[in-house]
Structures are given as C-alpha cells and as structure tokens.
C-alpha cells in the first residue's frame, strides 16, 4: 500500500468518525425541536387568484404569509411569518405546509430553523394579491386628476 | 482526498468530506452555519469550508437576513455518495466507527 493511499484512508476515517459524531449530536438535538405543523382552524377563502393556468383560493392567513414573503425578496424565516400572521410556530408551520402543497412556497427545514421561500408560481400569486389588496385599500378615484 | 464525480477530479480535505456526509445522513438534509461549525471546529474554518464547497458546486446556500442554511446540490449528493462508496470499499463504514 502506497503512502498516498494510507494518507487517504486516514483522511477518510477521520471524515467518517467526525461525520457520525456530528450526525449523532444533531439527531439528539433535533429530538427536542420536533414541531409538527397544524393548519390554522377557521380559515375562510377571501381571495381568488388566477395564476399558472389555474384558479387559486386563498385565506387571510395565507395571503398575509405571501405578502410578508413578497416584501422580503421571496424568502423569510418561519418565525417572522408567525409573528406577522399572529400564529404560533406550530400553526405557522401548518400554514407553510399548506402553501407548499399548493405549490406556492418551498420549505427548507432544519430542527432549529425553518426558511420559507416563494416559488415562481408563489411570486406570481403574491404579486397579484398585493395588487388586489392595494386596490381594495386605495380604490382609484373617479374623475380625472388635474 | 481525491474524489472523481462525473469524470471530474476534486480534492477535498477530511472536514469537507465530513460536511458532505453529514448533509447526506441527517434526515432534514440541511445545515445551518453553526451546525457546520461542529464539523469544522470553529466559526472561521466553517465559513471557509462552506465557501469552498459552494464554489465547487457541492453546496447551495440559502440566505435570509443573517441566517445561512446549506443544502447539497445534485453534484454534492453524488460526491457524498462517492465518499461513502470509498469508505465502504475500504471497510470503514462497517468498522464500528459509526453509531
């Protein structure tokens, strides 16, 4: 066996030993952070948006989450969405999972941190919703602007 | 160690290989920078390590405010599998080193 292959074997064994040590630790830590998403109850459809060749019904909470995401360049930590929508982390995760099932967001989940990111369809829907909300809040006045 | 992935040769040190393995082995397939720190030993080394792996195309970075999360790219998954294959070939995977 050459010196090079012995050195490589040594490197490999160190990599594996460290990797398993860290995986064991991370899995142990993860046990303390298991949060199962529960969709919020009493959600009513308030918005209907046509995007990506289909009609999508959205509830107030879903719209709130989409608006938060569209105003933060399409990505936000779940906690920030929970704060903005007035939900706890369990319900916010449930909401994010609902949006994921609709194809509007992607979720990147680690035990301690969760990131929600808009998909291209989600961006389109968020843009339309934002227009609808702005229009409802500030209706165009009749008559011409002088 | 030398790795050949998609007919291209890469040279990784053992900590870089360990990060790839950890990402492949944890159920959630993503790590924060502080998780990488556990492999690297300190913050500066962790930053260097992920920067190099991102540059090689093995990791993708998701950045939200100050939070950075790393996940394997498809190339990174193949690289991690190659490390595992090498370890299995050398008999290290079954050697009781692993929990």
Q: Is the domain of A90 the same as that of A66?
A: yes
Residue A25 domain flag: yes
Q: What is the mean pLDDT of each run of 10 residues along chain A (146 residues)?
A: 78 90 88 75 80 87 90 86 88 91 88 87 90 77 60
What per-residue confidence (pLDDT) applies to B2?
A: 86
Which residues, 6 or more positions from B34, have their beta carbon under 8 angstroms from its beta carbon? B46
At B11-48, the pLDDT tens digits run 999 999 999 999 999 888 889 999 999 999 999 999 99
Please report, to the nearest 10 degrees, the dihedral formed by the alpha carbons of residues B50, B57, A121, A96 taken in order. Answer: -30
Subunit contact B35:A110, Cβ cutoff 8 A: yes
Residue A102 domain flag: yes
Residue identified by tokens 């190099």 is: B52
Residue A20: give the domain boundaries. 1-32
Residue B98 domain flag: no
Interface of A to B at Cβ within 8 Å reads: 8-9, 11-20, 22-27, 30, 72, 75-77, 108-113, 115, 117
> Domain with B27 in it: what CATH number?
1.10.10.10
Q: Is the domain of A9 the same as that of A67?
A: no
* A46: phi then psi, degrees, rounded to nearest 5: -115, -20
Chain B residues with CB under 8 Å of A19 CB are 17-19, 21-22, 25, 39
Residue B74: give the domain boundaries. 2-89
> Domain with A70 in it: what CATH number?
1.10.10.10
Q: Is the domain of A55 the same as that of A117?
A: yes
Residue A143 domain flag: no
Subunit contact B67:A115, Cβ cutoff 8 A: yes
Q: How many domains does chain B have?
A: 1
B74 CA to chain A: closest CA distance, Å? 16
At B54-96, the pLDDT tens digits run 999 999 998 888 888 899 999 999 999 999 998 888 888 765 5
What per-residue confidence (pLDDT) applies to B95?
A: 54
What per-residue confidence (pLDDT) applies to B97?
A: 53
Q: Is the domain of A71 the same as that of A101?
A: yes
Chain B residues with CB under 8 Å of A108 CB are 30, 62, 69, 71
């Amino acid at each position: 066996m050459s010196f090079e292959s012995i050195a490589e074997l040594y490197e490999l064994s160190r990599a594996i030993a460290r990797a398993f040590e860290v995986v064991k630790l991370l899995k142990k830590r993860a046990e303390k952070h298991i949060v199962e998403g529960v969709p919020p109850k009493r959600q009513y459809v308030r918005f209907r948006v046509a995007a990506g060749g289909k009609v999508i019904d959205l509830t107030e909470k879903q719209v709130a989450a989409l608006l938060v995401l569209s105003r933060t360049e399409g990505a936000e930590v779940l906690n920030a969405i929970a704060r903005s929508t007035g939900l706890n982390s369990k319900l916010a995760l449930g909401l994010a999972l609902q949006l994921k099932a609709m194809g509007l967001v992607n979720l990147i989940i680690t035990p301690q941190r969760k990131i929600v990111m808009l998909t291209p369809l989600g961006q389109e829907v968020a843009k339309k919703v934002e227009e609808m909300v702005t229009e409802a809040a500030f209706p165009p006045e009749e008559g011409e602007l002088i | 160690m030398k790795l050949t992935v998609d007919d291209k040769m890469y040279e990784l040190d053992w900590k870089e290989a360990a990060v790839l393995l950890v990402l492949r082995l944890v159920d959630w397939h993503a790590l924060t920078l502080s998780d990488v720190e556990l492999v690297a030993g300190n913050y500066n080394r962790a930053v260097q390590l992920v920067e190099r792996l991102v540059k090689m195309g093995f990791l993708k970075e998701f950045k939200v405010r100050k939070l950075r999360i790393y996940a394997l790219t498809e190339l990174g998954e193949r690289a991690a599998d190659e490390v595992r294959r090498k370890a299995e070939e050398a008999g290290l995977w079954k050697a009781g080193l692993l929990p």
